[in-house]
Amino acid sequence: MERKKKVLLALARLCREKAPAGQLEIGFTAQEVAREAGIIRSNASGDLNYLVKEGLVVKFPGRPVRFVTRQYWEESKARNGREDTGRMAVQEIEMNPFTSLLGWNSSLKVAVEQARAALLYPPHGLHTLLIGPTGSGKTLFARTMFRYAQTLGRVTGQAQLVSFNCADYAHNPQLLMSQLFGHVKGAFTGAAQEKPGLVDAAHKSILFLDEIHRLPPEGQEMLFYLMDNGQYRRLGETGSYRSCTTLVIGATTADPHSSLLATFYRRFPVVINIPALAERPLAERLLLLKQLLAGESRQIGRPLKVTADAIRALLLYDCPGNIGQLFNDIRLTCARAFLDATSKGTREVVITAASLPPHVQPRSAAGDNYLQELAGLVLEEEWYIEPDEAGVTAACQVPDLYTLLEKEREANGVEGINNEVQWKRSRQALEEYYHRYLKETVQDWKNARLRLARLVGQDIIALAQEAVKIAREDLPGQVDTSTFLALALHLNACRQRLKAGQEIVNPYLEEIQKEYPREIEVARKVMALIEKKLNLALPPDEAGFLAMLFRAGRQGKEPAGEPVGVVVMAHGSRTATSMAEVANKLVGTNAALALDIPLEGEPQQWLIEATRVVRQADRGRGVLLLVDMEPLISWGEIIAKRTGLKIHVLDNVTTAMVIEAVRKASRFPLHELVAEIGKYHYLEEYWPLEGQGNKIIVATCLTGEGAARRIKAMIREWLGDREEINIVTVNMNGQVTGSGMGWQALKGKGKLVAVIGSVDLKIPDVPFISLEEWLLGQGRWRLQELLQLPAREQDITPQELEAVLAQYLRFLEPGKMLDLCSQITRQLSQSLGRRLLPHHKINLIVHLSCLVERLQAGEQGSFWPGEEEIKRRYPREWLAVAEAMAGLEKNFNITIPTGEIAFVVQFLQET
């Protein structure tokens, strides 16, 4: 028989015998077809693609690609009446490259929706800023946005994504500007001929600028002129402007409020946060781990066997470099294991805990949420990955309800399991768990049944469908799509537990039978079905878990509370309306109301209209007013007095802010919603200065906004509750933020005591304290004297010091380094019997943190003159420092050079 026909028959058998009805988008992988046909995978893959071209097979793109026969596809459409929806499902997968991103419908769901909205926005899309730590995947996300733009026709098929890392030339701004915009002959020394820039190459395409905060201010101004007007000049050019139509995607690891000009930052209507690896669910990290290992298996062409200890360590260790570091650590691990396999002459590469880099150790401490998430993962004893298993996913990333109940039982005490109070506590914990899982986690799967099938297998999908059909007949209104998905995941966990020989014990079965008799009856019918289909013997206790699941369906029907009202007000013809439309479309609601205020309009008339819109938006929980600039900020207070409603105002509104507000409006009361949005968007504050006796401190930065506000917060925290001292933020031009007044107006409000920050306003007789002085301690002593405060030790708070470390460190986690280095300073103080002053501690912590990062990056430690003399003169101090440093060496698998020990010893002697 011809091989191609053999492959087609094998796929037909799989569709006929193993494909569950109604799950058209699942299909079978080339590996599954190859096994069924008895041939190798590469041949099956090639034949399947030929059959697709011939129209005999339907292909579903994804990771991995899946197939069904054309006959099965057509019959299923006819049987289910799904011709239109089936075609739309295929088109959606083909038109959405974001589905290739891990977590696209979970932790990255909001980011993906924002990106799609930005690219869909007519006529050419919206400029976008990606924010996230190093290694979180911003570059990959930008490339995926480009691929999506290609599918939309925003860029031509021949166009390329033009990428540029602004940090590469940050030391030479002139060269950076030349690379970006090009230059004319004679523009600078060495410019012998005219040269086009990257902007030219990005015409009718996308320009991706990584580390965009490294652009100098003049570069930011040139770029936002291009973004606004589609025009630019090359470096040294003075004639007419050139034209360019391009969409700008920027990426930064820094806080954009302090690192970008405010005028430049506002040119990005869409700001997308890419979460760090630690912020993503453990289930996603487990899936990512297996994908990366599968990639390495393909790379070396050998199967990988990964032990359970190695899986747990790679899953749970602190990975401050995010996905980038995880990839490097896995590659190093595989290299070590490959070398070991080669020396032993074995083909199979075995990865054990001994193969891992020394710093890959599980976290020693974790919070309750983390432990609960970990308990929800069913980890396999080991993984066996073949080189041809492209895109294999972990089998059991599913919450384990059995473990949850066991932990609750241990907390209650085994002897008292029949106690009524303890049963109520356990019941509440289970119901809350199911309810939260159904309402939050499972919702992310509603559009991702393909992923669900990869997790649990098609036999479980078919079984769950039959079980739901039974439950719907006896429990009308309690069972829906969410219940089906949760049931499929639970059945898979049940099978895994029984295969592993673990018991299924429900100590509250008697109470469940009394309180949920209808659900118990349905659960027993479902158990009979499970035993028949999976050939398993289920203990009676399993009925209790299934009954709780069906009961949770009723719990999930409780109506949600009314949301907080959201109103967007902005100047322009459609500015507010556009932002509200994008947010409502993404979130799937009409919660955001908009009011566009013309620049030439009469303010009093529009204030009346704004009052009407706010009344319309209120549903009894208050209104969040999102505005673009003055004088709309002050309207909030006026409208609140006129209506009697609770109103909060946030300014500098962006599309991202509106999306976040609409998404969370039903989940938080007004004050908590403001706090949630305010994490990333600052609330405009008035500066009430009363009386001539007040003392005024001026906080400064370039814009008077982001950084100045943080300086203000640090000073206020240090001062405590001193109402007679006012802190005012001022920009580099001497203008008080949000008032339109110069700093001279402050003199009439009180006595100017000091200027603190990054800009010296050079006010006569008013001392300037730099931000560095403030953070390192000396500035606090000065301010204490200027304010004539009682003497006290001016210690920096851990939060402030962590913020300082974040400015220095590239990939290490500031919080972790702060803890480790603080232990060293305490150890040195105790062993040497001397007290370190706060600014000495700070200097030492910053130095040691940067030293560890340099050594981890492969850089050499500094040479320190007179090393031998220092060791000879201070043997006790040398030993104490060497012992303290040993903790860093062990934690990061580094060797600290003796020159660095000599430096610390001399530093301690001098302090």
893's tokens? 């698998």
Give the residue, 807 or 146, on which the prediction is more confident. Answer: 146
Q: Distances in Å between the alpha carbon of 517 and those of 474, 531, 633, 640, 911?
A: 12, 21, 58, 52, 75
User: Where residue 209 falls among pLDDT bands split at 50, 70, 90?
Assistant: very high
Residues sharing a CB contact under 8 Å with residue 203, sequence separation 6 or more, in sequence order: 244, 245, 246
**3 state DSSP class of 694:** coil
Mean pLDDT of the 740-752 span: 75
Q: Say how many C-beta atoms besides its own lie within 10 A of residue 871's C-beta.
A: 17
Q: Please write the tens of the pLDDT for every residue from 598-623.
A: 877 677 788 888 999 998 998 888 89
Checking if the pLDDT of 751 tops 60, the result is yes
Q: What is the DSSP letter of 305?
A: E
Q: Please write the tens of the pLDDT for every residue from 177-194.
A: 888 998 888 877 777 788
Q: Smallest Cα–Cα separation from 626: which of 597, 594, 602, 663?
A: 594
User: Where residue 86 falls among pLDDT bands split at 50, 70, 90?
Assistant: very low
Element of type H or E holding 867: helix 867-873
Identify the pLDDT of residue 421: 59
- Euclidean distance between CA atoms 304 and 296, whole angstroms: 9
Phi-psi region of 833 (alpha: psi -120 to 50; beta: other; left: phi over 0): left
693's tokens? 């006796």
Mean pLDDT of the 689-695 span: 56
Identify the pLDDT of residue 911: 63
Checking if the pLDDT of 62 tops 50, the result is yes
Element of type H or E holding 586: helix 575-587
Contact yes or no for 167/211 (Cβ under 8 A): yes
- Euclidean distance between CA atoms 656 and 586, whole angstroms: 11
Identify the pLDDT of residue 830: 85
- Euclidean distance between CA atoms 823 and 891, whole angstroms: 13
Q: Please write the tens of the pLDDT for every residue from 283-329.
A: 788 888 888 888 888 778 788 888 888 888 888 888 888 888 898 88
Q: Smallest Cα–Cα separation from 676: which of 696, 693, 656, 695?
A: 656
| CA atoms within 13 A of residue 417's CA, in its CB half-sphere | 15
Contact yes or no for 169/176 (Cβ under 8 A): yes
Mean pLDDT of the 434-454 span: 48
Q: Which of 6-10, 171-175, 191-195, 444-448 has the lowest mean pLDDT?
A: 444-448
- Euclidean distance between CA atoms 687 and 743, whole angstroms: 13
Q: Which of 165-169, 659-663, 704-708 has the lowest mean pLDDT?
A: 704-708
Q: Please write the tens of the pLDDT for every residue from 523-576.
A: 999 999 988 888 888 888 888 888 877 876 654 444 445 788 999 998 888 889
Checking if the pLDDT of 423 tops 70, the result is no
- Euclidean distance between CA atoms 110 and 132, whole angstroms: 14
Identify the pLDDT of residue 631: 66
Checking if the pLDDT of 438 tops 90, the result is no
Give the residue, 507 or 627, on which the prediction is more confident. Answer: 627
Identify the pLDDT of residue 407: 57
Checking if the pLDDT of 145 tops 90, the result is yes
Mean pLDDT of the 884-897 span: 86
Give the residue, 860 or 163, on which the prediction is more confident. Answer: 163
Checking if the pLDDT of 594 tops 90, the result is yes
Checking if the pLDDT of 792 tops 60, the result is no
- Euclidean distance between CA atoms 467 and 470, whole angstroms: 5
Q: Could you tell me which residues are beta bridge partners of residue 649? A: 625
Identify the pLDDT of residue 372: 57
Give the residue, 23 or 274, on which the prediction is more confident. Answer: 274
Checking if the pLDDT of 220 tops 70, the result is yes
Angle at 569 between CA 564 and CA 575, to 5 degrees: 125
Counting every residue, how long is the chain?
Answer: 911
Identify the pLDDT of residue 274: 94
Identify the pLDDT of residue 319: 86
**3 state DSSP class of 397:** coil
Q: Which residue has the tokens 């299924």?
A: 504
User: Where residue 779 falls among pLDDT bands split at 50, 70, 90?
Assistant: confident
686's tokens? 């008035």
Identify the pLDDT of residue 1: 55
The residue type at 560: A
604's tokens? 């009093």
> What's phi and psi for 242, nearest 5 deg?
-95, 155
- Kindly compute the dihedral angle of the four CA atoms of residues 276, 281, 284, 285, in this order, to the nearest 10 degrees: 60
Question: Chain-wide mean pLDDT for the chain?
Answer: 77
142's tokens? 């930008």
Contact yes or no for 20/533 (Cβ under 8 A): no
Domains of the chain: 3-98 (1.10.10.10), 109-274 (3.40.50.300), 279-385 (1.10.8.60), 401-555 (1.10.1790.10), 565-678 (3.40.50.510), 695-787 (3.40.50), 798-910 (1.10.1790.10)
Q: Identify the top-confidence range among 27-36, 399-408, 789-798.
A: 27-36
Identify the pLDDT of residue 63: 55
Burial grade of 719 (CB within 10 A; 0-12, 13-18, 19 or more) = middle
Q: Identify the top-confidence range among 118-127, 362-371, 378-387.
A: 118-127
Can you give the pTM of this predicted structure? 0.40
User: Where residue 92 falls among pLDDT bands split at 50, 70, 90?
Assistant: very low
Burial grade of 123 (CB within 10 A; 0-12, 13-18, 19 or more) = exposed
Identify the pLDDT of residue 347: 79
Q: Distances in Å between the alpha carbon of 120 and those of 149, 153, 588, 824?
A: 8, 10, 16, 53
Dihedral over Cα of 261, 263, 268, 271: its sign: positive
Identify the pLDDT of residue 373: 60
Element of type H or E holding 131: strand 128-131
Dihedral over Cα of 823, 827, 830, 833: its sign: negative
- Euclidean distance between CA atoms 210 and 124, whole angstroms: 21
Identify the pLDDT of residue 480: 65
Angle at 731 between CA 725 and CA 734, to 5 degrees: 80
